[in-house]
Structure 1
Amino acid sequence: MRIGMRLLLGYFLIVAVAAWFVLAIFVQEIKPGVRRATEGSLVDAATLLAEIAREDILAGHPQNGELAGAFSAVHNRAINANISGIHKVRNEYHVYLTDAAGKVIFDSKGVAQGQDYSRWNDVWLTLRGKYGARSTPTDPENAESSVMYVAAPVIDQGRIIGVVSVGKANSALNPVIKRSERRILWAGGALLGIALLIGAGMVWWINRSISRLTYYADSITENNPVPLPSLGSSELRKLARALESMRIKLEGKNYIEQYVYALTHELKSPLAAIRGAAEILREGPPPEVVARFTHNILSQNARMQSLVEKLLSQAKLENRLDIAFTPVNTRALFLQLQDERSVALAAKALHLECGEEETIVSGDENLLAQALGNLLDNAIDFTPSGGAIRLYTSEQGSRVEVVVEDSGSGIPDFAQARIFERFYSLPRSNGQKSSGLGLAFVQEVARLHQGDIRLENRPQGGVTATLTLHRHFT
C-alpha cells in the first residue's frame, strides 16, 4: 500500500473513532436529556396546578372546580403550533387530583375517578413529604407506551390535603428525540465527509511533494538533473536540500575523475603543438618561421589558460546550492551583451535584434549575464556572415522565457542528446571547437535559478535557446 493511502487510512480511522465516540455520547444523552427537561417542566406545572387545586379541595367540589373547568376548556381548544418542524395539535398533559388518603377526586381523562392511587410512587412519596415521580407503561407489552408522572403536594396551613400529579406520555417526546438524533447523525456524516476531503487533500499534497522529489532523484540517476523542486513545507525543503547535498557528495569522486580525464584529453593537443613548436625553434629557423611558431605557442597557451579558467568556473558553479535573488532587468542585460559582443558581431556582419520589453526577472545578475553570454556566443559562432540573431523575452504567467534565436545551421540529430554534456562540442564555422563547457554552465545556472534551458531547431533554420526563469522568487 502506498504511503499516501496509509496516511489517509490512519487519519480517517482516527477521525472516525473520535467522531463515533462523540456521536455515541450525544445520541445516548439525547433521550435522558429530553426526559430530564420534560420532568422539570412537569414539576413546574404540578406545583402551579397544586395552588389552583387547593381551593377546589377546600370548596368540596373538585369535579366542578377551577381545575376541572380549565381542563375542559383546554380540551375544546384547538392548538396549531409548529415547533421547529414538530406539529403540536393538542394538550398532552394527563392530570389527576387525589385527597389526603390517595383517592382520586379528579381525573382530566375521566377514567380514574374514585380509584385508590395511594400505592403509586408519585402519590405515596408526595403524601409523605418527599419528591414523588413514576414512569408507568399503559400497555405492559409495549415499552414505548410508558407515561411519566410528577406529583406536587396540595398544602393548606402546613398540612398536605391532597396531591396533584401531572403526566406526559414518553411517546410525545419521540419526535423531538428522533429529530435531534437525525440532525446529530447528519452532522456526524458531514464531519466524516469533510475530514475525508481534508485528508485526501493533505495526502495529495504529500504525494505530490514526494513525487517531485522522486522525479528529481530519478533525473540525477539518469545523469540529467532537473532544477531542485520548490516545496511548500520547511521539512520537505530541508529534505530536498539534503538530497542535493548528498548528490554533490556522491558525485564527488566521479566528478573529479571526469574532470581530470577531460582536462588531460583537452590539454593533450595544445601541449603537443607547443612541444613541436619548441623543437623546431631549437634548430634556429629563419625569423619568419620563429615568429609563426612563437605565435602558435602563445595561441595554444591562451587556449589552455581559457580552458582551465572555464573548468574552475564550472566546478565552482556546480558546487553551489543556492544563490541570492535580486531583480534583474532583461532589457539592460541585452544591451550589455550587445555592447560586449559588438566586435564579434561586426566581424561577421551579424545583425543583433534586442527586444524592447522592460521585463524584470529574479536571479543572480552576474550568472545570468554569463549564461546568456554563452548562448549568444554560440549563436555568433554558428550563424553565417550576414545572418541575424534575436534576443527577447516571453512572459508565461509567473515565469519568463529569455530567448536567443539565430539563423545558423542548427543542431545535428546525432548531437541532440549530448549538447549539454561537459566538453562535448561541435565544430564552428572556422573549423575550430570550443571547450564544450558553455552549455553545461548554462544548465547549472538554470538549475540554481530553479528554471530550465531548452535548445530546439527552428523550422526555417537555426536554433532557439530558451532559458526559463521566475518573474518573482520567494
Structure 2
Amino acid sequence: MSLSLRIFIIYMLFVALCSYFVLRTVMEEIRPGVRQSTEETLVDTANLLAEFLREPMLNNQINKDFYADIFRAYGQRTPNANIWGVNKFAVNHRIYVTDRNGIVLLDSNNIAVGQDYSRWNDVYLTLQGKYGARSSHEQEGDESSSIMYVAAPIKNGDDIIGVVSVAKPNRSVQPFIDRTQQRLGILGGSLILLGLLSGAVFSWWLSRELRKLREYAVSVSQGERAIIPESKIASGELRQLAQALESMRSELDGKAYIERYVQTLAHELKSPLAGIRAAAELLQTPLLQTPENQQQRQRFIVNIDTESLRLQHLIERLLNLALVEQQQSLHDPKSIDLNRLCDELLDNQIARIAQQSIQIHKDYTPSAVVVGEVFLLHQAFNNLLENALDFTPHGGIIFMQTIKQGEHLQVSIFNQGESIPEFAFARLTERFFSLPRPQTGKKSTGLGLSFVQEVMDLHAGKLSIMNTRLQDLSPNVPHAHSLATTGVSVILEFPGV
C-alpha cells in the first residue's frame, strides 16, 4: 500500500469520525433548542394574556361569551404564512383560564370548562407562585403527540386570583426541526465530501512530490542525467530532503566522475606519450650527419609534433565532454536558427572543402529554429561536419538538410563514403571508440559522437546514425540517382519550439 493511500485512509477515518460526532451532537441539540425557543415564546404570550385578563377576572366577567368568542375566533384564524420555507395555515395555541382554585373558567377549545385542573403542574405550580409548565401526551406512547403548557399568574397586587395557560403541540414545530436537520445534513455531507476531496488532492500532491524525489534518486543511482524536481513546497522536510539529495548527488557525481576520467585519461595518454618519449630518446642518440639520418631525425620531429597535437585535441575534447556530461540542464537557452548555424560552419571549413573538391548541397526548410545553448550546438555540429569531411572521398558529396516532421525539426548531414560496419553501430557513441579514417588510416579521439549524444540529451533531442543512399534523402541533388552515391547520414531530431 502506497504512502499516499495510507495517509488518505487515516485522514478519511479522522474526518468521518469527527463529522459523525459533530453532526450527531448538533442533530440532537436541534430538537431541544427549538422547543426551548418555543417555550420562551409561550412564556411571553402567557404573561401578556395574564395582564389582559386581570380586569375581567376581578369583575367576574371572564366566563362571558365575549371572551369565549374572542378565543374561539383566534383558534379559527388562518395565518397563511410562509416561515422560512414552512407554510403555516392554522393557529396552534390552546388557551385556558382557571380561577384561584384551578377550576377552568374559559377554554379556547371549549373542552375543559368547569373541570378541575389544579392537579396539572402548569396550574398547580403557578398557584403556588412558581414557574408553571408541563408537557403531556395526547396519546400514550406517541412522542409526536406531546403538548407544551406554560402558565402565568393573573394577579391583583400580590394576590394570585387566577391562572392563564398557553399550550402548543410539538408537532406544530416539527416541520422547522425537520427542515433544519435536513439542511444541516446536506451542509454536513457537503463539508465531509469537500474534506475528503481535499484530502485526496493533498494525498495525490504529496505522493507526486515524493514520486519526483524517488525517480530522481533512482536516476542518480543508475548514473543517468537527472534534474531535481521543482517542488512547490517552500519549506519543510520534503524541501530539505530534496536539497540533501541534490547535495549528495553532486558530491557522489564529482568523486565518481573524477575517478573515471583520471583512469580513462591515463589510459588514452599512454600511447602518444610513449611515441613522444621514444622519438625524444632517439633524437638524443648521436647520429652521423648523413642525409638518411637527417631524414630520420626529421621524421622523429614530425612524430613528436603529431603526437603532441593529438594530445592537445584529446585533452580539449575530453574537457568539452566532461563539461557537458556534468551539466544537468541548459544554461542561458536561446532561439537558434539551425540553417544559419550550418552555413557558418561550412564557411569555417571552406578551405578544406575546396582542397578536397567536396560538393556541398543544401536543402533547408524555412524557419528552422530551436531553443538551445549556442556553444554546445555549435560544437556538436562542428564535430559532425569534421567527421563528414574526414570520411568523404576526394570530389565526394556532403548534403545538409533541415526539415519539419510534425512538431519536430530534423537536421540531416549526409556524407558520401564507405558504409559503417554493422558491429560498429552499437559503439559509435561510446567514449574513445573510433573508426580509421579512409585517407590516413588513423583514428580520431573517439569523443566527438559521445559529445554530440550528450548535447542532444540535454536538448531533449535524438541522435540517429545510419547507412543510406543520397537518393533516399533528396532525389533533386545531382548524381543522387547514381548507385555509387551511398554513404552515412547523421540525423539530429529536436522537439518543437
**TM-score normalised over the length of structure 1:** 0.81
Give ranges in structure 2 of 5+ residues lacking alignment: 474-488
Question: In the aligned structure 2, how far is the partner of 1:189 from the partner of 1:420?
Answer: 62
Are 2:226 and 2:328, in contact at CA under 8 Å, matched by a contact in 1? no
Are 1:56 and 1:65, in contact at CA under 8 Å, matched by a contact in 2? no
Q: Deviations over 1:260-302 (max 9, x none)?
A: 3321332233234334544665556455554444333212211
1:423 pairs with 417, 425, 432, which one?
A: 432
Instruction: Tell me if 1:28 matches 2:28.
Output: yes
Aligned position for 1:250: 252
Instruction: Tell me if 1:465 matches 2:492.
Output: yes
Are 2:227 and 2:328, in contact at CA under 8 Å, matched by a contact in 1? no
| SS of corresponding position for 2:349 | helix
Aligned position for 2:376: 370
Does the C-alpha gap of structure 1 residues 258 and 8 become closer, same or farther in structure 2, counting only changes over 3 Å? same
Letter in 2 for 1:21: F
Are 2:72 and 2:109, in contact at CA under 8 Å, matched by a contact in 1? no
Aligned Cα root-mean-square deviation (Å): 3.7
Instruction: Tell me if 1:199 matches 2:205.
Output: no
Largest Rg, 1 or 2: 2
Does the C-alpha gap of structure 1 residues 303 and 338 become closer, same or farther in structure 2, counting only changes over 3 Å? farther
| SS of corresponding position for 1:136 | strand
Instruction: Tell me if 1:339 matches 2:347.
Output: no
Question: In the aligned structure 2, how far is the partner of 1:6 from the partner of 1:244?
Answer: 27
Does the C-alpha gap of structure 1 residues 177 and 292 become closer, same or farther in structure 2, counting only changes over 3 Å? same
1:455 pairs with 457, 460, 463, which one?
A: 463
Letter in 1 for 2:460: D
Instruction: Tell me if 1:386 matches 2:386.
Output: no
Does the C-alpha gap of structure 1 residues 463 and 319 become closer, same or farther in structure 2, counting only changes over 3 Å? closer
Moved more, 23-32 or 131-140: 131-140
* Pairs aligned (count): 458
Q: Deviations over 1:119-173 (max 9, x none)?
A: 3332233334433222222333233322111222223455433222111112222
Are 2:75 and 2:92, in contact at CA under 8 Å, matched by a contact in 1? no
Question: In the aligned structure 1, how far is the partner of 2:409 from the partner of 2:157?
Answer: 104
Letter in 2 for 1:173: V
Q: Deviations over 1:7-54 (max 9, x none)?
A: 111222232233233223311221111111111221222223223333
Question: In the aligned structure 2, how far is the partner of 1:416 from the partner of 1:56?
Answer: 119
Give ranges in structure 1 of 5+ residues lacking alignment: none
Letter in 1 for 2:154: V
Deviation at 1:395, TM superposition (A): 10
| SS of corresponding position for 1:350 | strand
Does the C-alpha gap of structure 1 residues 280 and 177 become closer, same or farther in structure 2, counting only changes over 3 Å? same
| SS of corresponding position for 1:423 | coil
Question: In the aligned structure 2, how far is the partner of 1:132 from the partner of 1:340?
Answer: 107
Instruction: Tell me if 1:146 matches 2:149.
Output: no
Aligned position for 2:89: 89
Deviation at 1:203, TM superposition (A): 1.9
Does the C-alpha gap of structure 1 residues 322 and 219 become closer, same or farther in structure 2, counting only changes over 3 Å? closer
Letter in 2 for 1:269: S
Q: How does 1:382-421 map to 2 (within 5 A)?
A: 382=388, 384=392, 385-390=396-401, 403-408=410-415, 420-421=429-430
Does the C-alpha gap of structure 1 residues 412 and 406 become closer, same or farther in structure 2, counting only changes over 3 Å? farther
Q: Deviations over 1:308-350 (max 9, x none)?
A: 2333344455556677x5462313x864674355232661443
Letter in 2 for 1:452: A
Aligned position for 1:124: 124
Higher RCO (CA-CA < 8 Å; seq separation 6+): 1
Question: In the aligned structure 2, how far is the partner of 1:11 from the partner of 1:439?
Answer: 53
| SS of corresponding position for 2:29 | helix
